[in-house]
Amino acid sequence: MTQFESMKQIWAPWRMDYILGPKPEGCVFCFDAESDAERLVLRRTETSFVMLNKYPYTNGHLLVIPTRHVSHPRDLPAAEYAAWQALVLQSIEALEESISPQGFNVGMNLGLVAGAGVDDHIHTHIVPRWNGDHNYMAVLGEVRMINQHLSDTYAQLKPAFERQAAGVPR
């Protein structure tokens, strides 16, 4: 038996919409605020925004993105960099409030060789983690199990981001 004969199948028909669907021209992170809800943007400031990752590692996987289209943090003016990082911290707080993760992976992939899927528009990944959140599927099957639909995760997180935007203490 070859390794391919022993592979198991996972049924994920929703992926066909992405595979066969139209691909946006230009940068996937450069869009008008009018499409924020459709694109799962949880909060937008003058210089940055936070959105759910449509292809998450775990529930609540966020992307925090400067509005300015740059490929490296050094290309941002200092004030925009500071505001972007403040939004990273606020996003962690919103996740703690909403879904109570036990830890986080936070980081950037700068350049294709570093794993950046979008290498010309920097963004920070915030991946909430729980003890035992991954099992053998990711290791043996190269499959990640996500146990909540993105629209449900969006609805769960949105109130915390709205509270922050309104300046209401936790």
- Say which of 123, 125, 134, 149 is annotated catalytic: 123
Name every residue whose Cβ is closer than 8 Å to that of residue 117 and which is 6 or more positions away in sequence.
Answer: 109
Residue 93's H or E segment, with its range, is helix 78-99
- Distances from the Cα of 64 to the Cαs of 72, 97, 166, in angstroms? 14, 17, 19
- Distances from the Cα of 34 to the Cαs of 30, 37, 39, in angstroms? 12, 8, 10
Concerning whether 121 is annotated as a catalytic residue, the answer is no
| Residues classed as catalytic | 123
